[in-house]
Structure 1
């Protein structure tokens, strides 16, 4: 399918087929796409928790406003942000740049020192909001990839992050849940699959200067 056709095909699934699972190859496409998502400064203040344990998925329903998509999906992708992004985190990123690109220290040092100072001095809430913004970039990327791969998905903000963090033991990993994306395949009787998309016209949303 071409991109526009794929985007018209996708919708926020309300009912998954619990018996149809993503293949390992399809799941790998999603995890690689997540890892390749563009992020501010390239710092990737994100991690992706992939839940496929059915008992855990059932437990997550109560923390998801009783939305059964998290129970019936093939997998539940939980986009998380790092709790702390400070100088050591920035330093580790630049270590990776040196390793991969063999970039000279004379080039790296000014940018590295600027970012270390920025993240060490700005308020924690500002850093957290910055990280959350990156999570939305990842979500958008995953939704497009899902459409192209004919994987159904349902992006969710309606959940209790504190409960997710507790159930998935995210505190132990230094991360916190930010967005939830159940993925799998739509049920044959999900009536929402046949609904026409409701969008403003491009004349109203696109401004050409």
Structure 2
């Protein structure tokens, strides 16, 4: 499968962090189902998928979240609000879950995956990275955010990533405190309001010559 390079660049030039959503427009079910699958298909280190995605469409719940999102209107006006959650810790249970599921999906005996499990154990559970596991899981979540936003642009859906929010308050309102997951980043998705002035502003990006080096 391939996409013309011009179409990809056109979509990425079209997208921007939408400030004003058209509250009357909703993403249709087929398009949203595809976008949900882009979350599922997002890559992660080791394929461990240390995340969950809360899709919030309930207006009342979004009203509760808005004051803890710097009162940003995107939270209430977008079609779908996605809260990206990171796993709090990585231990034996998480490794065993992946190994077991890999065995089932690929019809491979668990014993043949022992080396892979040991590698993850040494790195994420016993190694130095275990001391920064929250940072590691957050990094993985941001990979899924990028995948989601790019896919949305290709489908003509607007997005706005939101870091301006209180994770502690989100965790409380969404009842995550005993779930093993924590709010990491938020993304609003929908369709831009026709008069959103930011839609027509030129992108401010440094020239590729100052960002890309070829060795």
Please say whether Structure 1 and Structure 2 have the same fold, judged by a TM-score greater than 0.5. yes
- Unaligned 5+ segments in structure 2 are 1-5
Does residue 204 of structure 1 match 2:210? yes
Greater mean deviation of Cα atoms: 191-200 or 123-132: 123-132
Counterpart Cα distance in 1 of 2:189 and 2:179: 23
- 2:162 partner SS: coil
TM superposition score normalised by structure 1: 0.95
- Tell me the residue number matched to 1:181: 187
- Tell me the residue number matched to 1:56: 61
- Unaligned 5+ segments in structure 1 are none
User: 88, 92, 101: which is aligned to 1:83?
Assistant: 88
- 2:161 partner SS: coil
Q: CA deviation at 1:89?
A: 0.8
Runs of 4+ residues over 6 Å off in structure 1: none
- Tell me the residue number matched to 1:150: 156
Cα deviation code 1:137-179 (max 9, x no counterpart): 0111111001101100101111100001111112243210001
User: 22, 25, 30: which is aligned to 2:27?
Assistant: 22
User: 114, 120, 126: which is aligned to 2:125?
Assistant: 120
Cα deviation code 1:160-209 (max 9, x no counterpart): 00001111112243210001001000011111111111111111111112
Q: CA deviation at 1:125?
A: 4.6
Q: CA deviation at 1:38?
A: 0.7
Q: CA deviation at 1:84?
A: 2.2
Contact 2:100 2:110 in 1 (8 A): no
Matched positions, count: 209
Contact 2:99 2:110 in 1 (8 A): no
User: 93, 108, 111: which is aligned to 2:98?
Assistant: 93
Counterpart Cα distance in 2 of 1:5 and 1:124: 41
TM superposition score normalised by structure 2: 0.92
Contact 1:13 1:152 in 2 (8 A): yes
- 2:22 partner SS: coil
Contact 1:87 1:117 in 2 (8 A): no
